[in-house]
Amino acid sequence: MATGGTEPVATGGTAPVARRVLVTGIVQGVFFRDSCRRQARAAGVAGWVRNRADGRVEALFEGPPAAVERLVTWCREGPPHADVDAVEVSDQPLSGAEGFRLR
């Protein structure tokens, strides 16, 4: 799914945004990362997701505001076997991420 050029794809004339998300609860060992990657790719959101040593899942989402917010909302539920207790969201500077990967 390559696009021509290095410019981000504009959606509705809005500039891309970046959000860092920390998800607390039963979120490791329940396919949270892989499910998140699939959701992000389907939404056209770039970034990454990883398990943290403290038991949380951390993700960075970059893309059109509506798509990024869909991913943040998805993180509040996660995949079927997850049990999300809390989600911390913070604005981040754009890093120019391409694609979405597991870390």
Specify the amino acid at residue 62: E
Q: State the angle between helix axes of 65-75 and 32-43 in degrees (0 to 180), rounded to the nearest 10.
A: 160
What is the Cα–Cα distance from 61 to 46, expressed in whole angstroms? 6
Q: Angle at the Cα of 75 (from 73 to 79), degrees rounded to 5? A: 120
**Active-site pick, 33, 37, 56, 70:** 33
Active-site residue flag, 51 = yes
* Tokens, residue 65: 């505001």
What b/e string do you get for 17-31 counting C-beta neighbours within 10 Å, with b at 16 or more? Answer: bbbebbbebebeebb
Domains of the chain: 17-92 (3.30.70.100)
Query: What predicted TM-score, i.e. pTM, was given to this entire model?
Result: 0.85
Task: Tell me: pLDDT of 13 over 90.
Answer: no
Q: Give the mean pLDDT of the chain.
A: 90
Active-site residue flag, 70 = no
**Active-site pick, 20, 41, 50, 51:** 51
pLDDT value, residue 9: 41
